[in-house]
Structure 1
Amino acid sequence: MKYTNEQILAVCNKMCQNTLMETLGIEFTDVGANYIVARMPVTPRVHQPDGVLHGGASVALAESVGSAGAFVFLNSTEVVVRGIEIAANHIKSVRDGFVYARASIIHKGMTTQLWQIKITNEDGALVSLVKLTTLTLPKKN
């Protein structure tokens, strides 16, 4: 079945309920043929002690977006997606506003997928660059 971009975003945002993604305020905002985008508010809730965005929150955002992308692009409710490797380089500090994570697929395999996630600030400046490998597993009943 073919879903509209709005339906895909609604499903992704619904999956965030009662999860870490909801706790962090992650919201999916855009999806296309080879990418998916989400944003996260930068507030004291995701700061490290000196008042800037915690790298762990950035990594959680990146893995959430890449994993959602793998689930969406595999187009199956019979699988689950797990992150199996993640590497992040943090380049710029952010104190407030929103950060945006755009996950672009590099390798779209049936078992493994490779994602590049660029996290930017509201001005479009690169904040973090992340590489994520995901694994697709059959859903256990």
Structure 2
Amino acid sequence: MFDPASDRANPAFWNRASHERLPGHLGVEVTAIGAGAVEGRLAIAPHHLAPNGYLHAATVIGLADTLCGYGCSANLPEGAAGFTTIELKANFLGTATEGAITARATMLHGGRTTQVWDADVLHAETGRRIAAFRCTQAILWPRP
């Protein structure tokens, strides 16, 4: 359950947590987080591109999956110990070579045992959709 008074309701909390972890190395920046939604961005740099010169799929997945995971963590049911991803899927609809990509992740389903999150990834400068992403998270509970 999202608690607006929690540290987890603050984008700065997630940006600090990303430091020296994969999201930090990718350059993921959380810009907003709330009940059932997270927004973020990533400035495209040469290391985000595949050898063909276009945005690497793993960069897009990294942004989308990070935002969905942070959203799940911030919106866990009361008493839950955490979560783990059990499935993810992406449809790539475009690409980019410069500028930034943004994403908005939203909770489609928030149950006691699973959450389902969607994220639309857009090219920031043109507004074109780069990818549609969906993941399912298993909610973990403390062992008795």
Q: TM-score, normalised by structure 2?
A: 0.87
Matched to 2:128, the amino acid is A
Could you tell me how far 1:65 is from its partner in structure 2?
0.7
Q: Provide Cα deviations, 1:58-116, integer angstroms capped at 9, x if missing partner.
A: 11211111010001112768622221100001111100111011101100112210011
Q: 1:92 and 1:58 mapped to 2: Cα distance?
A: 11
How far is the alpha carbon of 1:4 from its aligned partner?
7.0
Note if contact 1:63-1:83 (Cα within 8 Å) is conserved in structure 2: no
Structure 1 residues without counterparts, runs of 5 or longer: none
1:114 to 116, 120, 123: 116
- Alpha-carbon offset, residue 33 of structure 1: 2.9
1:129 aligns with 2:132: yes
Partner residue in 1 for 2:101? 99
2-side partners of 1:73 and 1:52: how far apart? 34
Matched AA of 2:66: S
- Separation in 2 of the partners of 1:53 and 1:95? 6
| TM superposition score normalised by structure 1 | 0.88
Counterpart Cα distance in 2 of 1:8 and 1:139: 25
| Separation in 2, partners of 1:110, 1:36 | 20
- Give the 4+ runs in structure 1 shifted more than 4 A: 4-7, 75-78
Q: Which runs of 5+ in 2 are unaligned?
A: none
CA RMSD of aligned residues (A): 2.2
Contact 1:103/1:118 (<8 A) preserved: yes
- Do residues 20 (structure 1) and 46 (structure 2) align? no
- Of 42, 48, 69 in structure 2, the residue corresponding to residue 46 of structure 1 is 48
The alignment covers a number of residue pairs equal to 140
Cα deviation, residue 29, structure 1: 0.3
